[in-house]
């Protein structure tokens, strides 16, 4: 079952979870697939299908119990476990990611920053994430257990850094450096291309101007 789950499905589960967090905070007890559909501009059947991958989560005539569905989604996404994240690269992007509120809200623990620049080692981000020497990655990972490494270094340095991460035994990598990276088969790599979002806006602007012309 979980094998048939696409990346697009898990991405939608994340967005459902964020909305369920809001509903729960606001004391809402149940939610229908119709309301979820309206919130995300999707059709209700797709949402029911997404959620049915993981067993029958809905209650006929009621929809979904917010607290239950939230807990189930957290478990499905693996967020009920300790997830220690290290950020590699203590530049502007690294600091921004180290203190990004969204990560902490979902339970990710940002345990360390790493950099090659000696002068930065020992300093901390505004929220107190300490910078370590990249040469200590394996040692720190053995001590605290790093689940995910986030690559926030310039493109030219990214492959060398990823090799160091792999060598330290870390099995999941989130990459923000533009360009392709190679990892062994047993390491899961996900790259974030921030330009995609800008281009989506550009597409809509171009289309909108065409319609008005």
Asked if residue 207 binds a second copy (CB under 8 A), the reply is yes
Q: Which of 158, 210, 208, 209 is nearest to 181 (CA)?
A: 158
Asked if 176 and 93 count as a contact pair (C-beta separation under 8 A), the reply is yes
Among 70, 103, 111, 114, binds a second copy (CB under 8 A): 103
Asked if residue 86 binds a second copy (CB under 8 A), the reply is no
Distance of closest approach, residue 34 Cβ to a second copy, in angstroms = 19
CA triple 22-28-29, angle to 5 deg = 125
Pick the piece of the chain touching a second copy (CB under 8 A) from 26-34, 58-66, 113-121, 148-156: 148-156
Minimum CB distance to a second copy smaller for 121 or for 150:
150
What's the full length of the chain, in residues? Answer: 213
Q: Copy the structure tokens of residue 184.
A: 């062994």
User: How far, in Å, are 17, 59, 196 from residue 69 at the CA level?
Assistant: 8, 11, 31
Among 58, 147, 165, 166, binds a second copy (CB under 8 A): 147
Distance of closest approach, residue 61 Cβ to a second copy, in angstroms = 28
Asked if 73 and 13 count as a contact pair (C-beta separation under 8 A), the reply is yes
Among 27, 55, 61, 78, binds a second copy (CB under 8 A): 78
Minimum CB distance to a second copy smaller for 55 or for 61:
55
Distance of closest approach, residue 60 Cβ to a second copy, in angstroms = 28
Among 83, 131, 146, 151, binds a second copy (CB under 8 A): 83
Distance of closest approach, residue 213 Cβ to a second copy, in angstroms = 13
Residue ranges binding a second copy (CB under 8 A): 2, 5, 7-8, 10-11, 13-15, 17-18, 22, 76-79, 81, 83, 85, 91-93, 95-97, 99-103, 105-106, 108, 147-148, 150, 154-155, 171-174, 178, 180, 188, 190, 192-208, 210
């Amino acid at each position: 079952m979980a094998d048939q789950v696409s990346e697009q499905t898990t991405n939608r589960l994340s967005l459902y979870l964020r909305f369920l967090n809001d509903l729960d905070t606001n004391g809402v007890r149940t939610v229908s697939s119709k309301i979820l559909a309206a919130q995300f501009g999707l059709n209700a059947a797709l949402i029911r299908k997404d959620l049915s991958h993981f067993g029958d989560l809905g209650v006929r005539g009621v929809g979904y119990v917010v607290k239950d569905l939230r807990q189930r989604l957290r478990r499905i996404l693996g967020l009920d476990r300790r997830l220690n994240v290290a950020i590699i690269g203590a530049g502007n992007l690294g600091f921004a990611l180290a203190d990004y509120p969204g990560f902490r809200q979902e339970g990710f623990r940002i345990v360390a920053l790493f950099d090659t620049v000696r002068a930065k080692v020992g300093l901390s981000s505004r929220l107190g994430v300490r910078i370590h020497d990249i040469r200590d990655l394996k040692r720190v990972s053995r001590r605290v257990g790093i689940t995910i490494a986030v690559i926030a270094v310039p493109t030219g340095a990214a492959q060398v850094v990823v090799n160091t991460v792999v060598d330290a035994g870390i099995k999941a990598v989130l990459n923000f450096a533009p360009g392709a990276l190679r990892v062994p088969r047993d390491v899961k790599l996900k790259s974030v291309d921030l330009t995609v979002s800008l281009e989506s806006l550009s597409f809509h602007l171009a289309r909108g101007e065409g319609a008005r012309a």
